[in-house]
Structure 1
Amino acid sequence: MPQIQAQGKTITCDREANLRKVLLDNDIDLYNGQASTINCHGIGTCGTCCVAVEGEVSEPQWREKTRMSLPPHSPSSGRRLACQTKVLGDVRVTKYEGFWGQGSDTEWTP
């Protein structure tokens, strides 16, 4: 079973589990500020669950690629939307500052 390291915790999940769901189910602060109440609840349109992911995850699909190509995000950032990411193996997740997680300073690390 894959392991996720996020916000100082190590979480075990099923292969192909949705990263957003696993993080929220394990009390990880995925959203910054008011994004915790103002978000799309996992349909991939708001971009507030943006994180840096190291490890084995699914490839970005059209919805995620589209959202990550719109400001304040950038497709060159290498970040992912947790709601659109499936965990395929062990991963390390980092959250950055800013309403959409688009900043350069970290909020929390693995």
Structure 2
Amino acid sequence: MPTVSAQGKTFTCETGANLRKVLLSNGVDLYNEGAKVINCLGFGSCGTCAVEVQGEVSEPKGKEKFRLSLPPHSSKSNLRLACQTQVLGDVTVTKHEGFWGQKAETKWQG
């Protein structure tokens, strides 16, 4: 079972599990500011669950690539949408500041 490290916590999940669901079910504060209330609930359209992921995860696909190409995100960033990412191996997740988690400053690390 893969290990996920986020916000000072470490836990396991099934291979192929959705990263957003894994983080939320383990009490990780995934959303910044008002995004805790206003988000797309995992449909990949708002971009507020953007995180930096190190480790083995699924490749980005169309919906995620499209959303991350729109401001305030950038297709050149190394962010992923947690709601569109499957955990395939051990990962460390970092959340950045900003409503969409798009800023350079780190909010929390794995």
Give the TM interval when normalised to the shorter protein. over 0.9
Instruction: Tell whether 2:61 aligns with 1:61.
Output: yes
Identity of aligned residues (%): 65
Q: Which secondary structure state, in structure 2, belongs to the residue aligned with residue 24 of structure 1?
A: helix
Compute the displacement of 1:78 (Å).
1.1
Where does the alignment leave 5 or more consecutive residues of structure 2 unmatched? none
Structure 1 consecutive aligned stretches of length 4 or more whose deviation exceeds 2 Å: none
Could you tell me how far apart the structure 2 residues matched to 1:76 and 1:11 are?
Answer: 30
Per-residue deviation, residues 39-96 of structure 1 (Å, max 9, x unmatched): 0000000000000000000000000000000000001111100000000000000000
Alignment of 1:1-110 (within 5 A): 1-110=1-110
CA distance in 1, matches of 2:34, 2:47: 13
Root mean square deviation, CA, Å: 0.3
Q: Deviations over 1:6-44 (max 9, x none)?
A: 000001000000000000001100000110010000000
Paired residues, number:
110
**TM-score, scaled relative to structure 1:** 0.99
Q: TM-score, normalised by structure 2?
A: 0.99
AA aligned to 1:80 is R
Separation of aligned partners in 1, 2:37 and 2:3: 27
SS in 2 for 1:21: helix
